[in-house]
Structure 1
């Protein structure tokens, strides 16, 4: 089982996905401007197969400017490890290897990846293909320490990962489960049919997560409200508290001791740079340390931790 927890010395581990306009290192300036203690970036253009070369100087500058310890990258949206198209699959493998290599060179420990879409081949076929593809990627870079975090999906089309069961199957099928974890997106989970809005509903969802995936395999949270209803299978992010998920769900999660030390990042709409992130982060922090009667039932059930 991977170990994802960060030490409390790094702060409350709440942040956002931030722009790298002007260079990867500039994201740290933006983190300071929005008061983020964790962050995610794209290490290259998210809609291109090949990105700009990552130079040694880029890596040195990134390390020099690093003011936030928990940093993640999000892999290209083009990657589909479950695709039925041979050429597309070949490109996806190469692109993921590149994403993990960039993260390794930047001393980043987790790369978020959309699991993929089976394109009509069926869930079981797609799940098997994703697992074997992850094995191929790892075989190409066996000494890299970076973990691939499979993001929960909203369930649109033939996209895989909308159920905890599917994610759990992928983790069980890979040759080295320590190299794979899960990124839990609150909007996607809600859209795929998992309720988080009441204490009982939240507990049932987390119990199912633990049963199918294992709480210890969760390495990151994306905190997003949803514009659409429970089970809509439509991926539309909304500002915290302005959508159908509601504030209570985020209060439960932020105060759940089982996820203490696991970074939690916004992917909410950005109308004006920094303004929306500041507002959403302030809202999240206002929910920390809520009264005991607002905490989830199982909050005291904390597993073994590994501090980074």
Structure 2
């Protein structure tokens, strides 16, 4: 069974995401555990943690992954921003671990003009700091492939591999594969032969075992654009073929495939996009 879901709102409390996800047929989902646009956050309340964990058991929506705040930049050479980012990501890991969340998706970071090698080194140093401060946490750091817009790192499999190889605890890191970002980064996978070549390269460079979650998004921009603009499934430059290949790939059946497509508050767009994906599943 293909494990499809979407990013769900946590307005009113993190536990509220389950009723929203269940209402549109999610079998997995992604959430923010805090306001993604603010540095400070209140601790999770004990009662809310208990409600969340109970609903995690009773709804069967799993796994759940979290997405880190967009303010975090572990690639920066600006010491004040780097220190704030390390602290904030540590809090992300702690909160997710309190909720038994499998992993926190993180954009690796921007070098902000300091150069890619410097940026990758800073990211690895930051992750080492976070992991050392949270030694008992079971929640993984999930580095996301990026579009490579501006000075953002993580747009090549080799960059992600370099960061992981530099870590003291590489076993605490997995990968999030975003379809829009991958196309924009220059990976061609819109036809079967190209699709297989790309995954062969991923396996050789990172290892398929490190892949933990997908973000399924079509792209408003074409191959190699390095522009991060999501759109609805089948309505962008990816088209339907790569999504058909993904949802029917036996290697990925158990992994969460999460929508981050544009949406309105009523989640109607999520319903449409999930239906499109389910229509692509080949029945035996």
Q: TM-score range by the shorter chain?
A: over 0.9
TM-score computed with the length of structure 1 as normaliser: 0.89
TM-score computed with the length of structure 2 as normaliser: 0.96
Task: Report runs of 4+ in structure 1 exceeding 6 Å deviation.
Answer: none
Greater RCO (Cα-Cα under 8 Å, separation 6 or more): 1
- Cα distance between partner residues in 2 of 1:103 and 1:286: 33
Q: Deviations for 1:178-237, whole angstroms, at most 9, x for unmatched residues?
A: 100110000000001101111111111111111111111111000000011111111110
- Cα distance between partner residues in 1 of 2:2 and 2:179: 18
- Cα distance between partner residues in 2 of 1:32 and 1:257: 25
> Does the aligned pair in 1 maintain the 2:3–2:253 contact within 8 Å?
no
1:261 corresponds in structure 2 to 254
5 Å-filtered alignment, 1:214-229, equals: 214-229=207-222
Q: Deviations for 1:57-76, whole angstroms, at most 9, x for unmatched residues?
A: 11011112222121011000
Tell me by how many angstroms 1:22 deviates: 1.4
> Does the aligned pair in 2 maintain the 1:192–1:230 contact within 8 Å?
yes
Please say which of residues 237-246 and 123-132 is displaced more in the overlay: 123-132
2:5 corresponds in structure 1 to 15
2:227 corresponds in structure 1 to 234
2:21 corresponds in structure 1 to 31
2:46 corresponds in structure 1 to 56
- Cα distance between partner residues in 1 of 2:238 and 2:93: 32
> Does the aligned pair in 1 maintain the 2:174–2:212 contact within 8 Å?
yes
- Cα distance between partner residues in 1 of 2:185 and 2:156: 7
- Cα distance between partner residues in 2 of 1:280 and 1:101: 32
Aligned residue for 1:241, secondary structure, equals: coil
The Cα RMSD (Å) is 1.2
> Does the aligned pair in 2 maintain the 1:109–1:146 contact within 8 Å?
yes
Aligned residue for 2:189, secondary structure, equals: coil
Tell me by how many angstroms 1:290 deviates: 6.3
| Unaligned ranges ≥5, structure 1 | 1-10, 292-308
Tell me by how many angstroms 1:52 deviates: 2.5
| Unaligned ranges ≥5, structure 2 | none
Q: Deviations for 1:62-94, whole angstroms, at most 9, x for unmatched residues?
A: 112222121011000010111111111110010
Q: Deviations for 1:94-126, whole angstroms, at most 9, x for unmatched residues?
A: 001100000010011100000000111111111
> Does the aligned pair in 2 maintain the 1:197–1:245 contact within 8 Å?
yes
1:285 corresponds in structure 2 to 278
- Cα distance between partner residues in 2 of 1:17 and 1:132: 29
1:273 corresponds in structure 2 to 266
Match of 2:116 among 112, 123, 126: 123
> Does the aligned pair in 2 maintain the 1:81–1:89 contact within 8 Å?
yes
Please say which of residues 64-73 and 154-163 is displaced more in the overlay: 64-73
